[in-house]
Amino acid sequence: MKIIVVGGGIAGLSAAWELSERADVTLLEANATPGGKLLSASLETPFGVSIVDASAESFVTRKPAAYQLLLELGLQDQILEPEVDTSGVYLMRDRQIQPVPTSPLALLRSKLLTWRGKLRLLREPFTRSAALSRDESLHDFLERRVGVEAASIFGPVMAGIYSSDPHRTSVLASFGILRDLEREHGSLVRGMLKRRPKRGTSRPPRAVTLRGGVGTLVSALETQLRQRGVRIQTNTVVERVQAGVVTLRVGSRLSADAVILALPAPNAAALLERSAPTCATALRTLPHAGIGTLGLVFPAAALEGLHHLRGVMIPRSEGREIDALLMTGFKMPDRTPSGTGLLRVFFGANNPALMRLGDEALLAVVQRELRELFGVTAAPLTHKTFRWHDFPSLEIGHLERVSEIESLLPHGVFVAGASYRGIGVPDCVRQGREAAQRALEVQWQPQPLEVMV
C-alpha cells in the first residue's frame, strides 16, 4: 500500500512512524528540514553553547503518546525531567507580579483572591454540576465550578498555555479533561483525588524533555524512519491533493492509496481547494493566529534576584507588549552553560503588531519590557527569534467544526496535527498515529480509489 504523508512536523513524522513497517511511505516536507514547529537551535555564547527550543521545550506524560514514542525510539537515556515546581508560576495582575496559588496553603495566603473568592473556591466539591453536553468558554466553565474570582486568576494562566483569551477558548478543546472530571465525579477536586495514582505505583515524571532539546526527538525520528525505508523529501511543497494524487509545486504528480495531511488547517485548505471545496471552506473556519518566541541568553548575574520565577503569564488585560516569560535556564540548567541564564519570551497574542517587527526592533521592545517588569538591564549575550503565523485558536465549538471537516474529507484523505484535536506534542503524536491507522484501513475498501486528474 502506498501512503503519502504531507507535512513533516511531529504529527506527520509520527504518522510515518506508525506506517513505516506496514506500508510504502513517502513524507513530503516544504522546509529544508523536518520537525515543523518542533525545533531546537544552538546559540553560541562566550561561555559555550546554549540550546533554545523554538516552541515546545517539554511535554506532559499524562497524555502518553509522546512519552511512548520516546521509548519506542530507544531514547530512554536522553529523557530529562524538567523541574516542575509549580510554586514558581506567576501571574501579572494589576501591574503586580504575583505567585499563582497551587496548594491549599498558598491559596489561603494568596493576595490574588479575597476571602469571599477563597470560600467560593473551597465550595467547589459541593457545587452542582451542570451536565452540559455543549461546549462553553474556559472562563464560563471555571466560573461555574470555582467562582468568578478564581476564574479570573486561573483562566488567564490556563488559556495562556494556548496564547488565547479564556473568554473565547473552548473548554472542550483545551481542557476537556476538566469537563470529564465534572461529568464523571461531579467535582474537579473529587475527580482529581479519585484519579490520583496509588502510592507506590511507578509512573513517569509529570513532564519530560530531552538532552539537547526537543529537536533530539525529531532527529531520532528522521534517522530511524530513513532506516526503515521511509522516503523523506524535504524542500518539497505540495500544491494540490485529489483522491489518490498529490501534485507538487514543481509540477510532478505522485499517486497514493491514501494521503495524510499533517498540516495546519489553512495549508490543508489550500491543497483541497479544487478537489473538495466544501471541505476547504470548513477548514478555513478554524481560526489561526500569529505567535512567536524570543530566546535570550544573559550573563547569569543579570538575572540575579529572579531565581524564584519559573514562568510568568501576562494577560491581555494588563496592556503589556509580551505574553509570557519562561525561565528555561532555571528549569533546565543543562540547556545553558554555567555563567549564563536562558529565558524565553512569548509574543504575538497581546500585541499582534510585534509579529511584523524585524528582529532588532523586536529585541528593543522585549528588552524594555524585561527592564520595566523584572529590572533586567543588561544586554543579552545572544538571542534568536522564531515566528509562526498558523497557531490554532481553539475557539468555542472547535471540536464540532473538526468533526464536520473530517466528515467532508475526500475518501482516502486524512488530517492530523495541532489544528484539529489537541495542540500539545502528545496530542499531535497521537493524531498522527491514529490517522495512519485509518489510512491503513483504506486498503480494505471494496473499491480502489478513483483517480481524478
Ligand X SMILES: Cc1cc2nc3c(=O)[nH]c(=O)nc-3n(C[C@H](O)[C@H](O)[C@H](O)COP(=O)(O)OP(=O)(O)OC[C@H]3O[C@@H](n4cnc5c(N)ncnc54)[C@H](O)[C@@H]3O)c2cc1C
Chain residues in the site for ligand X (CB under 6 A): 6-12, 28-31, 36-38, 55-59, 237-238, 262-264, 267, 291, 293, 388, 391, 417-418, 423-425, 428
Q: What number of other Cβ atoms are within 10 A of residue 103's Cβ? A: 10
Distance in Å, CB of 148 to ligand X, minimum? 28
Nearer to ligand X, 40 or 187 (CB): 40
Residue type, 449: L
Lookup: cell for 384:
534568536
Strands 258-261 and 413-415: parallel
Cα end-to-end distance, the chain, whole Å = 20
Residue 202: CB partners within 8 Å, gap ≥ 6?
none
Q: What is the Cα–Cα distance from 279 to 400, expressed in whole angstroms?
A: 14
- Yes or no: say if 337 and 43 are a contact pair by the CB < 8 Å rule: no
Distance in Å, CB of 184 to ligand X, minimum? 24
Distance in Å, CB of 95 to ligand X, minimum? 25
